[in-house]
């Protein structure tokens, strides 16, 4: 159920899985309704609750940044500070969290400040080099994003132009030249004490934008759980308020990060209720108990030394499952 926005209120709305290593992140939406009104989305580690990255939605309909939302029908997002751990897959997690929030807003399950409502996100001009790089890979390799083209025509009627002092000086010089020519007098005999500038007519903007739809996110099994619950910190989670579950994403999740988190048994309970096969449930419990994940050492995820043969077989089955989900496409250093 969509709720009114309250300044500073935090809402857990999803658990997003990093396709590089299966590590889950809690996605939290925070509203800001002071002088500036906007919503931001953070991704938080399940083991420590630490914020790994924050993004937000464009809140100015007249901004040049909002062009992508106008031509695509999906809200524009920003990731100004990016993520803490670069090139680890958390960029994909953050964009997926933003995409999920937008989709939940579009069907009125989550309230956020947006200029355009749609089940996905967009991006375009005015983004960082790292953001450009991620969106390029999302289109060319990950299968998450597509490019759209469009144009917007804006009609102007006596629109006052706000220009910088330097530009105003240049324009005043051009005005003096035009007056001197029209009046057949010398330029030196004219002076302008001040001028205002306005325009009438129409302007057409043409350009391209990148789009990441929620359907693409779910096709790749990156959204394990959606929910809507008010919390004071990331570790709070009520399994009774779960809206939807991706059973494959749950089964493929990295369980080593739950060694110090009470959330683990909630995840197991949710998996059972959602119909995850008992063999996968048993594997999830074994991986959490043994601290084993597929290729954990190579991923930089904790792994106990010399795992037993059964644990190795569990890890092999997990690796095969993630491959079936298409997560191999994210196995690089730029996601």
Using one digit for the tens of pLDDT, what is the confidence trace for 67-100? 899 899 999 999 988 899 988 999 999 999 999 9
Question: What does the pLDDT look like over 95-142, one tens digit per residue?
Answer: 999 999 999 999 999 988 888 999 999 999 888 899 999 999 999 999
Question: What does the pLDDT look like over 192-244, one tens digit per residue?
Answer: 776 666 777 776 777 899 999 999 999 999 999 999 988 766 566 788 889 99
Short-list 311, 252, 308, 302, CA closest to 281: 252
Q: Say if 90 falls within a structural domain.
A: yes
Containing structural domain, residue 134? 10-149+210-330
272 and 130 share a domain?
yes
59 and 144 share a domain?
yes
As a whole number, mean pLDDT of residues 267-285 equals: 92
CB 128 within 8 A of CB 83: no
308 and 231 share a domain?
yes
Q: Say if 1 falls within a structural domain.
A: no
- Those residues whose C-beta lies under 8 Å from the C-beta of residue 173, and which sit 6 or more positions away, are none
116 and 145 share a domain?
yes
What's the CA gap between 12 and 60, in Å, rounded?
25
Question: What does the pLDDT look like over 165-201, one tens digit per residue?
Answer: 777 777 778 888 888 888 888 888 877 776 666 777 7
**Global confidence as pTM:** 0.80
Of the listed ranges 7-11, 62-66, 264-268, 305-309, the least confidently predicted one is: 305-309
What's the CA gap between 105 and 136, in Å, rounded?
26
Q: Say if 5 falls within a structural domain.
A: no
Q: Say if 280 falls within a structural domain.
A: yes
235 and 258 share a domain?
yes
169 and 287 share a domain?
no
Q: Say if 125 falls within a structural domain.
A: yes
214 and 319 share a domain?
yes
Report the half-sphere exposure of 226 (CA within 13 A, side-chain side). Answer: 23
Q: Say if 68 falls within a structural domain.
A: yes
Q: Say if 3 falls within a structural domain.
A: no
91 and 167 share a domain?
no
* Total number of domains in the chain: 2
266 and 219 share a domain?
yes
168 and 221 share a domain?
no
H/E stretch holding 243: strand 242-245
215 and 103 share a domain?
yes
Of the listed ranges 19-33, 112-126, 249-263, 298-312, the least confidently predicted one is: 298-312
197 and 313 share a domain?
no
Q: Check residue 131 and give its pLDDT.
A: 93
Helix, strand, coil abundance in the chain, percent, nearest 5: 40, 25, 35
Strand residues in the chain grouped as ranges (E)? 10-17, 24-33, 37-45, 51-57, 77-78, 120-123, 145-160, 198-213, 223-231, 242-245
């Amino acid at each position: 159920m969509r709720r009114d926005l309250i300044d500073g209120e935090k809402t857990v709305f999803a658990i997003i899985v990093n396709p590089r290593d299966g590590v889950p992140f809690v996605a939290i939406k925070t509203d800001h309704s002071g002088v500036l009104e906007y919503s931001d989305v953070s991704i938080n580690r399940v083991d420590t609750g630490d914020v790994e990255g924050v993004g937000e939605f464009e809140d100015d309909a007249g901004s040049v940044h909002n062009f992508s939302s106008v031509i695509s029908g999906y809200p524009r997002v920003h990731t100004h500070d990016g993520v803490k751990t670069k090139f680890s897959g958390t960029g994909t997690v953050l964009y997926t969290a933003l995409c999920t929030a937008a989709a939940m807003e579009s069907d009125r399950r989550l309230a956020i400040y947006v200029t355009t409502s749609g089940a996905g996100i967009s991006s375009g001009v005015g983004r960082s080099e790292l953001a450009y790089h991620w969106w390029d890979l999302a289109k060319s390799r990950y299968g998450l994003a597509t490019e759209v083209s469009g144009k917007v025509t804006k009609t102007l009627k006596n629109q006052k132009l706000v220009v910088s002092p330097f530009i105003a000086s240049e324009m005043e010089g051009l005005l003096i030249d035009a007056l001197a020519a029209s009046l057949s007098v010398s330029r030196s005999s004219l002076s302008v004490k001040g001028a205002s500038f306005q325009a009438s007519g129409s302007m057409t903007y043409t350009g391209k934008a990148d789009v990441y739809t929620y359907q693409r996110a779910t096709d790749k099994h990156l959204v394990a759980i959606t929910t809507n619950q008010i919390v004071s910190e990331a570790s709070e989670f009520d399994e009774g308020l779960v809206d939807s579950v991706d059973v494959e994403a749950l089964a493929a999740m990295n369980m080593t990060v739950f060694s110090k988190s009470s959330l683990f048994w909630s995840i197991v309970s949710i998996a059972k209720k959602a119909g995850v096969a008992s063999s996968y449930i048993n594997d999830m419990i074994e991986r959490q108990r043994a601290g084993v994940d597929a290729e954990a050492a190579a991923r930089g995820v904790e792994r106990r030394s010399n795992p037993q043969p059964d644990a190795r077989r569990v890890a092999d089955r997990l690796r095969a499952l993630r491959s079936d989900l298409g997560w191999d496409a994210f196995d690089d250093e730029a996601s």
